[in-house]
């Protein structure tokens, strides 16, 4: 959901509470919020404008830690503030960068769908997890090409994003099996292919995605079923080239166990990581909007498509 009427604070809260969710949507919503905020800022000087925009960017960056699409998107538009030009020109450069990011983000999903559909054959059964617009783009494109496909979609405890996925698949008329997360190994032999999205991809091709992705990849590996990750180039994490790890968000215990039940179990601690990391060796292919790569080529995306260079490390805001 991108809503141009939402304030910066509403967007930040929407991302934090997961009303706005999914790495691509989070990125676009953050950029949209910054664009709207920039347009309404009464700043008199460029320094004032920069300072307030940095405060706004920091507010958005602090919402959810795992999806690298968020800092990558914010960085890509905040870069325009560094130009040494008059305030009015900075304002319009920022607006253009924001619109360009949003357009290229939605365009990327379409391209991924187009490329991804080529990996789905007529008659294939595809397993997916969580609710990824990039992964769904591949599945829906294959279906629209007339391929007779079937899907296994997981429930996705504890936030049940699988419901969003099965609604979309149902709306498209795609035959779908809805399964609990723990039924993955039972059905993996019926799947020809696993397609999932990504929140972050490290320089060595490991994939952070919704909790439960790694066990699916493990089951697929054992069953010799290919695992395809559908991810825009801005889901690659540049700072992993410098040794940073992907922070895994741990969400409130109440998402798993109601507080009143937890209160009766003083010796029990609920753990609720929202994401896990699938090692590159369990990923067969990553499909981006610039083509498919093996996970071992993740660095090329960071270098060639994000224009990442080591010098940026020394610029404090760029690292945000
Ligand atoms: C969403 C999730 C999705 C990725 C990719 O987690 O793990 O698979 O974000 O999605 P959450 P997309 O629901 O916790 O945000 O392809 O739509 O960017």
253-294 pLDDT per residue, tens: 999 999 999 999 999 999 999 999 999 999 999 999 999 999
Count of CB atoms situated within 10 Å of the CB of 242: 12
Q: Which of 31, 64, 67, 113 is the pocket-test mutation for ligand 1 (most atoms within 8 Å of CB)?
A: 67
CA dist 35 and 27 (Å) reads: 12
Residue-level pLDDT at 312? 61
Q: How far is CA 119 from the centre of its chain?
A: 21
The answer to whether 164 and 30 are in contact (CB under 8 A) is: no
Specify whether the CB–CB gap between 272 and 255 falls below 8 A.
yes
> For residues 295 and 283, is the Cβ–Cβ distance under 8 A?
yes
Could you report the per-residue pLDDT of 141-169, keeping only the tens digit for each?
A: 999 999 999 999 999 999 999 999 999 99
134 Cα to the center of ligand 1, angstroms: 9
Q: Which of 35, 138, 199, 284 is catalytic?
A: 199
Tens digits of residue pLDDT in 299-314: 999 999 887 776 665 5
> pTM to 2 decimals?
0.95
pLDDT band at 315 (very low <50, low <70, confident <90, very high): low
Q: Which domains does the chain have, with CATH numbers?
A: 8-111 (1.20.120.420), 119-314 (3.40.50.10470)
Ligand 1 atom with the smallest distance to the CA of 136 is 16
At 316 the pLDDT is 46
**What is the average pLDDT across 239-243?**
94
Q: pLDDT at position 310, please?
A: 64
pLDDT digits (tens, 9 = 90+) for 16-39: 999 999 999 999 999 999 999 999
Mean pLDDT of 46-57: 97
| 112 contacts 288 by C-beta, under 8 angstroms | yes
Instruction: Report the percent of the chain where pLDDT is more than 70.
Output: 95
Residue 279, φ and ψ in degrees, nearest 5: -60, 150
């Amino acid at each position: 959901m991108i809503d141009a009427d939402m304030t910066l604070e509403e967007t930040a809260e929407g991302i934090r509470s997961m009303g706005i969710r999914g790495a691509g949507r989070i990125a676009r919503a953050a950029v949209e919020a910054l664009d709207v905020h920039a347009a309404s800022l009464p700043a008199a000087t460029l320094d004032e404008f920069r300072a307030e925009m940095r405060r706004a960017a920091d507010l958005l960056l602090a919402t959810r830690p795992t999806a690298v699409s968020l800092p990558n998107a914010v960085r890509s538009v905040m870069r325009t503030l560094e130009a040494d030009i008059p305030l009015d020109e900075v304002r319009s450069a920022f607006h253009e960068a924001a619109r360009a990011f949003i357009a290229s983000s939605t365009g990327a999903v379409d391209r991924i769908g187009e490329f991804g559909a080529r990996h789905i054959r007529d008659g294939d059964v595809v397993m997916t997890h969580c609710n990824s617009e990039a992964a769904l783009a591949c599945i829906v494109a294959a279906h629209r090409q007339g391929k007779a496909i079937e899907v296994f979609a997981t429930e996705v405890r504890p936030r049940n994003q699988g419901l969003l996925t099965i609604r979309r698949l149902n709306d498209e008329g795609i035959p779908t099996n809805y399964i609990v997360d723990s039924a993955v190994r039972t059905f993996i032999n019926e799947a020809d292919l696993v397609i999932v999205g990504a929140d972050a991809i490290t320089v060595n091709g490991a994939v952070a995605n919704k909790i439960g992705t790694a066990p699916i990849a493990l089951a697929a590996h054992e069953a010799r079923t290919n695992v395809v990750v559908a991810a825009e180039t801005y889901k690659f994490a540049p700072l992993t080239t410098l040794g940073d790890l992907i922070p895994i968000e741990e969400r409130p215990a109440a998402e798993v166990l109601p507080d009143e039940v937890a209160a009766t179990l003083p010796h029990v601690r609920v753990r609720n990581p929202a994401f896990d990391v699938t090692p590159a060796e369990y990923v067969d292919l990553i499909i981006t909007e610039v083509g498919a790569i093996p996970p071992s080529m993740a660095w090329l995306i960071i270098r060639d498509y994000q224009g990442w260079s080591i010098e940026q490390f020394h610029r404090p805001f760029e690292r945000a």
